[in-house]
Chain A
Amino acid sequence: MNLYAIILSFAAYIAVIIFITGFIGRLVTYFRTPAPLRIPLTPAPKTYFGALMRLFGNAIFFYPLLRKSKFLWLYGYVFHVSFFLVIMRHLRYFLYPVPEWVMSFQSLGVYAGYSLALSILFLFARRMFSDRDVYISLTEDYFALFLLLIIAGTGLLMHYYYRPYLVDIKSFSLGLTTFDWSAPSTDLLFIIHLLSVMLLVIYFPFGKLLHSGAIWFSPTIGKPDDISVRKYKNPWDKV
């Protein structure tokens, strides 16, 4: 164990702690903020079950985006699915022995790496094409995409060209879970990859990426319209 191992391990812990406390804190705030007047989106389902189905449909298939452009929907969708697959693939670095189901994600995960990088490029490009998209894009939007692009790019490069010594990396990542810290590879690509991931994880609960959590509380998509059946009270203005 050396200083390098300790510094990186601690940085990883801090990133994860910020992520977890920040994100959960945010979700708790969302949950606890009252929704005084009902604003379900028309045509609203009549029951909570129906509303839940709509919420899932929205969060998992993004179907309102289909109404804007099939193209944007496609690469937006490809982006999210690839991201998920790539994360699944990385589980093998944190589990020992690697379970069967994680192994089954391995080759899919590599393809997902490509589609991830490609979809990020598309998402970048589309912000530059139409006047309107240029106008509404903020520094934050480019920052998030840029960060993701670095992560995906270095990941792919490591897979194909400059393979770092994987045994070291695995003992580093496993060490994080067992508190038995060891130094990972000092390969530059790997360090960039790791640090950008940490940055992304830290940034996650403070910016637009919160949309992943916020949508589950949506008072428009996720609520039924049963106002004629159920009486709703306004918690800060009881009548």
Chain B
Amino acid sequence: MKRKVYNEVIYDEQTPLLNVPELVDNKTSNTVCFKSKAKDMEPINLPTERVPDWQNKAVELFGEMLDKYKGLRLFMDSCVRCGSCSDKCHYFLGTGDPKNMPVSRQELMRSVYRKYFTMQGKIFKNSKDCVAFDDNILKDWFTYFYQCSECRRCCVFCPQGIDTAEVTMAAREIMARLGVGTKYVTEVVHKVYTTGNNLGIWAPAWIDNCKFLEEELIEETGLKIPLPVDVNGAEVLLVPPSADNFVNTNTMLGYAKMFYAAGVSWTTSTFCNEGGNFGMFLNYHNYKTINNRILKAARDLNVKYILWGECGHAWRAGYMTRTLSGSMDFLTVKYPKHVCQFTNEMIKKGAFKLDKTANDHLKVTYHDPCNVARATTGMLEPPRDIIRATCNNFKEMHPDTTREKTFCCGGGGGMLADELMSMRMAGSKPRCMAVKATGANYLATPCAICKANFGESLKFWDTGAVVGGVHDLLSNALILNH
């Protein structure tokens, strides 16, 4: 059997779809994120170093989380170790490390819970199921709660409805407030506060790049199709992932052409040109503060409504906007709306002339980003409808790996860091095997992080497919009037 080696972690290359690996203890216990730096922690309102008396502080914070989150409170009590979730996590399927089974991931937290918050912990002080919060367990938390992409796949299969993502989020919040974060996530959050986006693109560069894309469109179509920036009074504020403007530019061109053809005025904002919310991977405070920026940008630019771009984590956070950031009643669309929903409505209305044969060179399959498909509702069909309207060759992947059962790309949840590359490739394996099985050469997906991780992993697993957006396909098929 051919084997692949990545950062000295060895994975079997050809295992059938959804094959469950042998358990290998501590297989990924050394795949750890770099620690956060004080220069990033301070501006995002977190302790720059481990807080004094951190063990007791951790227990106190744990108690606070239990009182604040019904989910956590229930999930700590209700697991019956039925094992239904144990082979559902892509990181487990990719690595075989037993601590990547969702139930054992929860157990890292539950064992501490038992120690301090249950009768069992008080009576059986030395039981191995009740663990004191110390350096060892903190190390495990830091490792394995940053090996969870908060994708919620395990939850779909749990008879108790236990959502490991909630557990992971709580553990990360506790760690963050103890002063323990990862370099990648805190750096990104810091960048959002200084530049408005995750990539750290300053306003002039953003404007420049929009001009550059406009020129590209003139070359391609002969039309002056605008990519407006900071236009006061535009109809739509588009909150794309910033990567669409620099890396996945075809998606950005797709938005521009779509708005042009639909005759809708739009704009991006240099104050908030990013939807992807990395605060979600850290703590509630930053989650909320970042999301607030979207409503502020909408107010400042006096737009009629907001559309969220092709970004999974933006949509999951944005979906909570009315709880996190307050009323959207000053807009005409008073609840969060995704650009795919908008485009799909326009297609249904017959607003576009489409030539499906323009995509005939592509064999398309669709990846449901977990945060689009599973963390919110109503986003299973619209992207598929767009693909069906713009492509002739569309093939779904295995039904156990699509829709609510979709596999994560392997890089979500703040795990897109380079030092986690072996984890990202391993976690991507179930998805890539499913892609390979369809024989597709184009993997469409509306999520910037998915695109970034698949950019590497589709090659790594020799799938023969490239990744791209959904609006890229629309962009190819759209016939524009001169």
Contacts and interface: CB of A to CB of B under 8 A. Distances in A.
Main secondary structure of the interface of A (DSSP, over half): loop
A39 B323 CA distance: 12
B107 interface: yes
B107 A136 contact: yes
A117 to B, nearest CB: 19
A145 B41 CA distance: 48
A35 B152 CA distance: 17
A41 interface: yes
Given A136-B103, A208-B79, A239 B324 contact: yes
B80 interface: yes
A206 B119 contact: yes
A68 B82 contact: yes
A135 B69 contact: no
A239 B160 contact: no
Nearest to B87: A132
Interface stretch (A101-109, A146-154, A182-190, A223-231): A223-231
Contacts, number: 177
B82 A215 contact: no
B472 interface: no
Contacts of B104: 135-136
Contact of A227 (B70, B81, B335): B335
Contacts of B79: 208, 211
Nearest to A63: B159
Interface size class of A (residues with CB under 8 A): 35 or more
Interface size class of B (residues with CB under 8 A): 35 or more
B312 to A, nearest CB: 13
A230 to B, nearest CB: 9
Contacts of B159: 58, 62-65
Contact of B161 (A131, A221, A233): A221
A136 B86 contact: yes
Contacts of A97: none
Interface stretch (B194-202, B207-215, B373-381, B457-465): B373-381
Interface of B: 20, 22-23, 66-71, 73-74, 77-84, 86-87, 98, 101, 103-104, 107, 118-120, 127-129, 152, 155-163, 166, 284, 288, 319-320, 322-327, 335-336, 373-378, 380, 403-404
Given A131-B22, A227-B322, 12 more contacts: A37-B324, A42-B404, A43-B380, A43-B404, A64-B161, A76-B82, A133-B81, A208-B80, A208-B81, A220-B163, A237-B284, A237-B288
Contact of B78 (A42, A65, A215): A215
Given A36-B69, A42-B373, A227-B335, A211 B77 contact: yes
- A-B pairs with the 3 shortest C-beta distances? A214-B78, A221-B161, A228-B335
Interface of A: 26, 29-30, 33-44, 58, 62-65, 67-68, 72, 76, 127, 130-133, 135-141, 206-208, 210-211, 214-215, 217-222, 225, 227-229, 231-234, 236-237, 239
Contacts of A26: 77
28 contacts: A30-B73, A30-B74, A33-B67, A33-B68, A33-B70, A34-B69, A37-B324, A40-B377, A42-B373, A64-B84, A65-B84, A65-B159, A67-B84, A68-B82, A72-B83, A135-B23, A135-B104, A138-B81, A140-B120, A141-B81, A211-B80, A218-B161, A225-B376, A225-B378, A227-B319, A227-B335, A231-B322, A239-B325
Contacts of B323: 36-38, 231-234
Contacts of B98: 132, 135
Most buried by A among B68, B87, B101: B68
Contacts of B71: 35, 39, 219-220
A39 B78 contact: no
A94 B473 CA distance: 71
B298 to A, nearest CB: 15
B83 A215 contact: no
Contacts of A237: 284, 288
Contacts of B82: 65, 68, 72, 76
Given A33-B73, A39-B71, A43-B404, A136 B83 contact: yes
A137 B81 contact: yes
A167 B50 CA distance: 67
Most buried by B among A42, A131, A135, A214: A42
A215 B324 CA distance: 26
B70 A34 contact: yes
A41 B161 contact: yes
Contacts of B319: 227
Given A135-B98, A232-B322, A29 B73 contact: yes
Contacts of B373: 42
Most buried by A among B67, B69, B161, B376: B161
A55 B374 CA distance: 18
Given A64-B158, A135-B104, A228 B120 contact: no
A65 B80 CA distance: 12
Nearest to A40: B377
